[in-house]
């Protein structure tokens, strides 16, 4: 008997997360179906409970930076005792915001719906609507749906979501940065999907905390990467919540956990760090810039 | 003739920013008055235009982490050509959220107003209001004011703001972390307030970018701090917006810019970094933990 695994993603359908989930589906050898979740938190909760074994969560946007909610849900699990899944894929989704409205004259628009992350990505476009109310909704797909059914409303959304909602496309590609991209992580608790084999162009995502009274520890940790000739590609810190002004760090580096240099780095880190977890090693997404 | 300098801060009155601005006022030898601004951005704009020479902006919360808006407004100026002011003070404000409502039975509460940063700081408290609408407003002071004038509403706000709005105090100190604190930066373009003299317990806030094709550069930079025996106390990265997946870094370290070891570190950084700015050196705030 074959089981079909479910991939949880931040719903509803037709969001950038949905596109990422479809990409993740394509990388997996097991049969899968997609399951929209209500929030990023629900994606993690479904993994925690074992209800799903696969999930896709947004991790970073090239304009807005890290998705701190994802980092904080990871933190909660990494610093608790219940972390048992791995990041097994990086997925890149080009974000092409479009403006939709059924209004015939743009002067009649009194409100624009979108996701809170979007406003900061479309600052130039929004200057032509200085006095229009901006309403935060849970997804760009929801934005298109609401604006489709209200007079005097507009929505900033993906082309896919606008088409699904049946609202008129007014302008495409309205973001300030035209090559705006969101990176997602594919998470898995399936035994045969954890740490896919090395491809010579891999990323490892590692979290660690250092002891509070050793502020030189961060430098000492990063020096180990340098000493073992491993390039870092990102670093993030979030409050650890164990103590004020104490942090959990997330670093991504260009090596696979199965490589000797990575094993040696992790071994050296063990004596410096108070907690240390390899969240996962996975191929670097094709199509990513140098 | 004496001029009274204005200190811009994120208004309205009775917010945590207001408390920080009062603290900043106390550290300054020049006569000052306080000027509430509509947004963090307006604080920067007032400095840019020369309309004010002093401002206070929120920088980090011990639970929520960095205030990315402030980092991004700094980025815009640091990577443009118009950066001319300095961070000259660190100000710590204890954040003691209280719950206010004029409703006599808590079952009648249908909506709660607060600032978006607050929800994540009061997760446990809010569990008793699972189906109550949470409405984002621009400040905790505004939240108290709105809830004071509406039936069936509550507000999470500071004690000071609740008292000013004349709304009934229901519960004090409702945040998950009881020692929740926000750090603010005092900014100045006054000649005689830039880089206050060393006190033997100082912080320097430094921003830098590295060249895109040298991912080892971050380690090289941080190693310079270690080599010169300077402890880092925080590190943040934000998209530089110059290129996808390229970052501007903000580090705070425990040294004053006038010290030899800091001068040597900065000199070494110049050959590694593509941009480098000392945002300021200032005394570490008394009352801060180790």
User: In this structure, are A157 and A234 located in the same domain?
Assistant: no
A6's tokens: 């479910």
Condensed to tens digits (0 to 9), the pLDDT of residues A226-240 reads 899 998 889 999 999
Interface contact B237-A236, CB threshold 8 A: yes
**Is B5 inside any structural domain?**
yes
Q: For residues B96 and B181, give the distance between their C-alpha atoms in angstroms, rounded to a whole number.
A: 8
Residues 55 to 74 of B: which have CB under 8 A from any A CB? Answer: 61-65, 68, 72
What is the complex's ipTM, to 2 decimals? 0.84
**Is A112 inside any structural domain?**
yes
Q: For residues B202 and A173, give the distance between their C-alpha atoms in angstroms, rounded to a whole number.
A: 46
Average pLDDT rounded to a whole number, residues A162-186: 92
The pLDDT value given to residue A238: 94
Condensed to tens digits (0 to 9), the pLDDT of residues A184-237 reads 999 999 988 888 899 999 999 999 999 876 767 888 898 899 899 998 889 999
- Nearest by CB to A219, from B215, B232, B234: name it: B232
Q: For residues B49 and A47, give the distance between their C-alpha atoms in angstroms, rounded to a whole number.
A: 51
B64's tokens: 């929520």
User: In this structure, are B74 and B186 located in the same domain?
Assistant: yes
B64 chain-A contacts, CB cut-off 8 A: 239
Interface contact B62-A245, CB threshold 8 A: yes
**Is A30 inside any structural domain?**
yes
Residue B132 forms contact with A (CB below 8 Å): no
User: In this structure, are A202 and A219 located in the same domain?
Assistant: yes
Backbone φ, ψ for residue B271 (5° rounding): -80, -15
Interface contact A218-B235, CB threshold 8 A: yes
User: In this structure, are B10 and B78 located in the same domain?
Assistant: yes
A220 chain-B contacts, CB cut-off 8 A: 226
B237 chain-A contacts, CB cut-off 8 A: 65, 234-236
**Is B55 inside any structural domain?**
yes
CATH number at residue B203: 3.30.70.260
User: In this structure, are A124 and A89 located in the same domain?
Assistant: no
Residue A128 forms contact with B (CB below 8 Å): no
B164's tokens: 């000013």
User: In this structure, are A3 and A88 located in the same domain?
Assistant: yes
**Is B146 inside any structural domain?**
yes
Per the structure, the count of domains in chain A is 3
User: In this structure, are B184 and B73 located in the same domain?
Assistant: yes
The pLDDT value given to residue B288: 67
User: In this structure, are B78 and B105 located in the same domain?
Assistant: no
Torsion of CA B188, B192, B194, B196, to 10 degrees: -120
Interface contact B63-A239, CB threshold 8 A: yes
A247 chain-B contacts, CB cut-off 8 A: 234
Interface contact A289-B181, CB threshold 8 A: no
Residue B226 forms contact with A (CB below 8 Å): yes
User: In this structure, are A83 and A185 located in the same domain?
Assistant: yes
Instruction: For residue B78, give how far its alpha carbon lies from the nearest alpha carbon of chain A (Å).
Output: 17
Q: For residues B26 and B12, give the distance between their C-alpha atoms in angstroms, rounded to a whole number.
A: 20
**Is B127 inside any structural domain?**
yes
CATH number at residue A13: 3.40.190.10
Task: Please give the sequence-ordered ranges of beta strands (E in DSSP) within B103-177, or none if there are none.
Answer: 111-114, 133-136, 153-157, 169-171
B259's tokens: 């010290």
Residue A139's domain comprises 98-171
* Cis upstream peptide for B12 (omega within 30°): yes
Interface contact B235-A237, CB threshold 8 A: yes
- Nearest by CB to A177, from B72, B219, B241: name it: B241
**Is B290 inside any structural domain?**
no
The pLDDT value given to residue A215: 67
User: In this structure, are B78 and B3 located in the same domain?
Assistant: yes
Residue B123 forms contact with A (CB below 8 Å): no
**Is A290 inside any structural domain?**
no
User: In this structure, are B89 and B1 located in the same domain?
Assistant: yes
- Can you give the pLDDT of all 290 residues of chain B as single tens digits? 468 999 999 988 988 999 999 999 999 989 999 999 988 999 999 999 999 999 999 999 988 899 998 999 999 999 986 778 999 999 999 989 999 999 999 899 999 999 887 888 899 999 999 889 998 887 888 899 999 999 999 999 998 899 999 999 999 999 988 888 999 999 999 988 888 899 999 999 999 999 876 767 888 898 899 899 998 889 999 999 888 889 999 999 999 999 999 999 999 999 999 999 999 999 998 766 54
User: In this structure, are B184 and B167 located in the same domain?
Assistant: no
Q: For residues A238 and A165, give the distance between their C-alpha atoms in angstroms, rounded to a whole number.
A: 37
Beta-strand pair A111-114/A133-136:
parallel
């Amino acid at each position: 008997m074959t089981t079909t695994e479910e991939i949880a993603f931040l719903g509803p359908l037709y969001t950038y997360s949905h596109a990422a989930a479809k990409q993740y589906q394509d990388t997996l050898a097991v049969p899968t179906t997609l399951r929209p979740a209500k929030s990023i938190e629900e994606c993690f909760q479904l993994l925690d409970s074992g209800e799903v074994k696969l999930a896709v969560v947004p991790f970073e946007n090239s304009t807005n930076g890290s998705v701190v909610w994802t980092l904080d849900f990871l933190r909660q699990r990494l610093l608790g005792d219940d972390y048992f899944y791995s990041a097994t894929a990086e997925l890149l989704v080009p974000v092409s915001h479009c403006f939709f409205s059924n209004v015939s004259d743009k002067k009649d628009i009194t409100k624009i719906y979108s996701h809170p992350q979007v406003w900061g990505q479309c600052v130039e476009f929004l200057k032509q609507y200085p006095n229009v109310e901006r309403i935060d909704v849970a997804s760009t797909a929801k934005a298109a749906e609401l604006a489709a059914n209200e007079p005097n409303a507009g929505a900033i959304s993906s082309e896919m979501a606008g088409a699904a909602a049946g609202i008129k496309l007014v302008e495409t590609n309205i973001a300030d940065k035209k090559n705006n991209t969101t990176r997602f992580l594919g998470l898995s608790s399936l035994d045969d999907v954890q740490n896919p084999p090395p491809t010579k162009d891999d990323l490892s995502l590692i979290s660690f905390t250092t002891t509070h009274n050793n502020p030189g520890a961060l430098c000492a940790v990063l020096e180990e990467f340098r000493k073992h000739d491993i390039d870092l590609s990102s670093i993030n810190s979030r409050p650890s919540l164990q103590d004020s002004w104490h942090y959990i760090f997330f670093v991504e580096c260009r090596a696979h956990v199965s490589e000797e240099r990575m094993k040696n780095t992790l071994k050296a880190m063990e004596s410096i760090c108070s907690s240390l977890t390899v969240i996962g090693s996975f191929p670097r997404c094709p199509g990513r810039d140098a």
